[in-house]
């Protein structure tokens, strides 16, 4: 484990977690669950929660009343690792102040650091890796059994991949769901530790994904969001040519699903067949989520990213031409080792000129066992912060202008429910707004239920959000 990870401040901890709030009738013992990290982690948490409920555990939204507390951790970048550590420390206090008898760390950080977590965090009773989620109920019962306390590891190579029959207790909106179509990654990006934590790519069969979509539709889900570490590569391990296209053609046939949104497309292997499907099938949202990471040729090569600036330019233009009105979301890393001022200025100019709809900007961080950690020419943190802030400021201006251009238009909006800002407003999203990571459409006039698709005339716009009223 790296030194930064174990520099723990036990006096000051923070938590940005989502507690499972659903109370499910069942027998004791009680479970408190904290989900950290990405939507892929959320699906893992939902499967673990479903498994626990099926096994007779009772969930509580009050961690002080939970006999078992499970933290599903993230280990992607330094900030996420520290958040996971702080959350474990905070909930470890419940052994003195609450009902907690067992504290478990699960997920990516657990898979990556294993015994080091038990050594550095004596609060923990168990560490459960990404290959053991299906055993979570048995693990909890083993740790609750009356015996002398002993910290234990449940770690294996990560072959676990849930299927359509897996019990699942969904978090979030009833009408929108994440569907994990594959696990792991075959890429070799120099900055990324995901293959270390999640293993090689393993795709679910098309039939399994379709069966899950059909079940979700029967439960009232209108929007399914397809997630994996490398969605464009879906099916390659199953020998399916054009796997994502094949999968989407099967999913659009599922009755009552209205929006299908694939996330995380690698900028290669994007075929005309796939783009034509996006353009021609109304159920597939006109929304491309494609992290480019950088645009300078030297930086792309050092990152072990396939392709060049010329190839990326051509692909972005091709996507916009073949999918009229597409919303394009991307992400970049600043401060990767060797990022000179000239390379950064090239990226800055590119972001300015290309006018993407949404841009996320991440700071590079050294990650153990990745290729990048041994590279020279590291960039100072202050310079990285400055570059990220500058790119985000440029993108804010672009997003604000795009929002203003929407005023006067009528858009189809999926209603999510009362606004988080005020119950006097409804809140929803058009197809160019993904759940949780993009903006929203505030509806200030008209009535609708969560899950309804309504026509909204846009009357005002903020940087990332729109305002409008329902029209007949």
Which of 112-116, 203-207, 224-228, 462-466 has the weakest average pLDDT?
A: 112-116
**What's the rounded Cα separation, in Å, for the pair 390 and 327?**
22
Check if the beta carbon of residue 88 is closer than 8 Å to that of residue 110: no
- Three-state DSSP at 344 gives helix
88 vs 351, higher pLDDT: 351
| Residue 180 CB contacts under 8 Å (≥ 6 apart), including other chains | 40, 43, 161, 162, 204, 227, 228
Check if the beta carbon of residue 23 is closer than 8 Å to that of residue 30: no
Token duo for residue 380:
């100072």
Token duo for residue 435:
């759940």
**What's the rounded Cα separation, in Å, for the pair 381 and 371?**
20
Average pLDDT over residues 385-408: 96
pLDDT above 50: residue 2: no
Which of 41-55, 229-243, 308-322 has the weakest average pLDDT?
A: 41-55
Check if the beta carbon of residue 293 is closer than 8 Å to that of residue 333: yes
Token duo for residue 176:
């929108």
Q: Residue 454: enclosing H or E segment and its boundaries?
A: strand 453-461
pLDDT in tens, 153-209: 777 776 677 888 888 888 889 999 999 999 888 898 999 888 888 888 999 999 999
- Three-state DSSP at 383 gives helix
Nearest to 37 by CA among 76, 88, 92: 76
Strands (E), 394-440: 410-418, 426-429
pLDDT computed for residue 198 by the predictor = 82
pLDDT above 60: residue 299: yes
**What's the rounded Cα separation, in Å, for the pair 361 and 293?**
9
Check if the beta carbon of residue 463 is closer than 8 Å to that of residue 400: yes
pLDDT computed for residue 14 by the predictor = 37
Longest CA pairwise span in the chain (Å): 68
């Amino acid at each position: 484990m790296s030194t930064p990870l174990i520099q723990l401040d036990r006096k000051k901890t923070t938590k940005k977690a989502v507690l499972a709030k659903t109370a499910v009738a069942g027998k004791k013992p009680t479970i408190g669950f904290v989900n950290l990290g990405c939507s892929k982690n959320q699906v893992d948490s939902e499967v673990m929660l479903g498994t626990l409920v099926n096994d007779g555990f009772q969930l509580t939204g009050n961690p002080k009343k939970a006999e078992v507390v499970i933290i599903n951790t993230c280990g992607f970048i330094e900030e996420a690792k520290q958040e996971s550590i702080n959350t474990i420390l905070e909930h470890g206090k419940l052994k003195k102040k609450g009902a907690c008898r067992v504290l478990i760390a699960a997920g990516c950080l657990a898979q990556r650091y294993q015994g080091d977590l038990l050594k550095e965090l004596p609060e923990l009773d168990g560490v459960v890796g990404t290959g053991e989620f299906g055993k979570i109920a048995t693990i909890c019962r083993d740790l609750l059994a009356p015996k002398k306390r002993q910290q234990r590891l449940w770690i294996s190579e990560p072959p676990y991949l849930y299927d359509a029959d897996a019990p699942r207790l969904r978090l979030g909106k009833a009408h929108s769901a994440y569907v994990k179509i594959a696990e792991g990654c075959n890429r070799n990006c120099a900055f990324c530790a995901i293959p270390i934590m999640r293993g090689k790519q393993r795709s679910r069969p098309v039939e399994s994904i379709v069966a899950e979509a059909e079940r979700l539709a029967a439960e009232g889900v209108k929007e399914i969001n397809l997630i994996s570490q490398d969605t464009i590569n879906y099916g390659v391990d199953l020998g399916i040519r054009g796997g994502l296209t094949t999968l989407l053609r099967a999913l659009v046939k599922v009755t009552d699903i209205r929006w299908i949104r694939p996330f995380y497309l690698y900028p290669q292997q994007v075929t005309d067949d796939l783009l034509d499907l996006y353009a021609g099938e109304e159920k597939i949202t006109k929304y491309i989520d494609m992290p480019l990471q950088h645009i300078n040729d030297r930086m792309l090569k050092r990152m072990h990213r396939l392709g060049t600036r010329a190839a990326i330019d051509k692909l972005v233009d091709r996507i916009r031409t073949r999918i009229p009105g597409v919303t394009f979301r991307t992400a970049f890393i600043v401060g990767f080792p060797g990022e000179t001022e000239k390379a950064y200025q090239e990226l800055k100019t590119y972001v300015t000129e290309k006018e993407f709809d949404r841009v996320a900007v991440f700071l590079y961080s050294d990650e153990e066992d990745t290729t990048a950690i041994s590279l020279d020419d590291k960039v100072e943190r202050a310079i990285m912060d400055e570059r990220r802030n500058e790119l985000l400021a440029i993108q804010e201006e672009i997003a604000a202008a795009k929002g203003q251009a929407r005023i006067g238009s009528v858009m189809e909006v999926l209603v999510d429910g009362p606004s988080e800002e005020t119950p006097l407003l409804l809140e929803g999203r058009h197809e160019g707004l993904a759940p949780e990571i993009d903006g929203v459409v505030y509806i200030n006039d008209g009535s609708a239920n969560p899950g309804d698709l309504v026509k909204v005339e846009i009357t005002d716009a903020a940087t990332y959000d729109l305002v409008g009223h329902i029209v007949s």
